[in-house]
Structure 1
Amino acid sequence: MIRDTGPVQPGRISRPVVGVDISRGSWVAVRLDADGRFDGAALAPTIAGIVADLGRDAALIGIDVPIGLSDTGVRAADLAARAALPGRAASVFLTPVRAALLEPDHAAATRISREVTGAGISRQAHGLRHKILDVDDFAPRSPVPLVEIHPELSFRRLGTAVIPVVVPGSKRSWSGIRQRIRLLAAAGIDIGEDIGDAGRECGPDDVLDAAAVAWSARRVLAGTADRFPADGADPGTSGQAVIFA
């Protein structure tokens, strides 16, 4: 999946994890300590910068960006994740094929995508190409295992842990933000008011998404995470792309 370091061994969590999301052209990260408590946030222009800042001693880093690009068509992981989010499937964009991502011009990338997959590429997806390629380039040499996690799936799973079950509203709405804060707090993740540059320069939804990704990263370590597709490879091994939650 990333590099041949062997599978991530599930079991007792004794080291921190980090969750990462894209925010306004940068990366925002939230770190949870070995007990799952908030342990800091950071902002960096590259994924290597995030690892250097918060991830040196981490057991695992979860990232809300595609890991494992396809050369030939739509990723099964994206389709499976979409199917698990009724009413919000569009929050999981279909990852463009590698050749389309390597093309800086959107019109040219769209032509490539149509030739390979039969469908074009949205401006939103193409606009994320630099971040997707940043991870694609860094992953094989990362000193810490990286896994792909989608925060909407994470929050959906968090919502099933409370009674009554909460399906959070739009992450950009006031009610949606409040619901997400409450779900994270119920999981023991309390993000303070002053979290440095991440709190001043990032959208609140991106910080909350990074925290949810970190929560799911702990589930990956514990061996309890959902995976999409369900028969996807274990984290830290080579094979098809897998999204965890």
Structure 2
Amino acid sequence: MTYIGLDACKTGWVAIVIDDAGYRDVFIAPSVRDADERGISEFDARIIVVDIPIGIPNSGSRAADTQARKFIAPRGPSVFPTPVRAALEAESYAAARAASLAASGKSLSAQAYAIRERILDVDGYRDRARIPILEGHPEVSFRAMRGTGIEHAKKSVAGMSLRHQLLDGEGISVPFGVESSLKGAAADDVLDAAAMAWTARRVARGEADRIPAAAGSERFSDGVDSAIWF
């Protein structure tokens, strides 16, 4: 069985393909639809886990985000608050900030707004996907692999080394420097996508956990069972 993990990059999505034996391949997908279709046609993939919020709040914040921040301490700030739907649909950052204030009482960070197009890409396609697409977060998955918090930032030398070691320990040996062949991808994007592929494999095997733990505990107007899988 084959599994795909996706992480956003400058040119779309870094897609890591693994199977039960370990690392298989990596490619750039311009859209989540492309990742879905290519994953099936070339690799017979069965599931995708993506580092992007799935399940968009109409107001307030998501329990998934709040609980994930606590779980991955001290790396909690890497979980950005999911923008409310009105902010995602706004046509400018200024309009998005105003919409966020009106709906949640909080402004919208530039980091959260920067992933707007990626959120909408997944949100607009997930119901038409040929295989399941679930949400994950790399820092949540790496925390689960290690069994305790990770003190090193992912872009640091120590942080990248540790994340490589954790993936190796799970049988996913990502080639060093593979990002050099991927337009718009950085080394940490590749490692994050690999963590999402690890999560996809765990979901397919029935080994995964989720935040929040209870199924169906958080739903918004889009009807999605909002959860971060790991």
For normalisation by structure 2, the TM-score amounts to: 0.90
CA deviations on 1:184-213 (whole Å, 9 max, x unpaired) are: 111111122474775464111010000011
Distance 1:133 1:81, change over 3 A: same
Per-residue deviation at 1:233?
3.6
In structure 1, the partner of 2:220 is: none
In structure 2, the partner of 1:27 is: 13
The CA distance in 1 between the partners of 2:175 and 2:224, in whole Å, is 38
Aligned residues: 223
In structure 2, the partner of 1:243 is: 228
The CA distance in 2 between the partners of 1:64 and 1:182, in whole Å, is 20
CA deviations on 1:4-44 (whole Å, 9 max, x unpaired) are: xxxxxxxxxxx2010000112421010111x1410100102
Q: How does 1:106-125 map onto structure 2 within 5 Å?
A: 106-125=93-112
In structure 2, the partner of 1:156 is: 143
**Once superposed, which parts of structure 1, at least 4 consecutive aligned residues long, lie more than 3 Å away?**
193-201
Unaligned stretches of 5+ in structure 2?
Answer: 218-222
Q: How does 1:41-190 map onto structure 2 within 5 Å?
A: 41-56=26-41, 57-160=44-147, 167=150, 169-190=152-173
Contact 1:168 1:179 in 2 (8 A): no
In structure 2, the partner of 1:5 is: none
Distance 1:54 1:106, change over 3 A: same
In structure 1, the partner of 2:193 is: 210
For normalisation by structure 1, the TM-score amounts to: 0.85
Distance 1:150 1:198, change over 3 A: farther
The CA distance in 2 between the partners of 1:168 and 1:36, in whole Å, is 29
Contact 2:11 2:184 in 1 (8 A): no
The CA distance in 1 between the partners of 2:144 and 2:151, in whole Å, is 11
In structure 1, the residue corresponding to 2:45 is in which secondary structure? coil
Unaligned stretches of 5+ in structure 1?
Answer: 1-14
Percent pairwise identity: 39
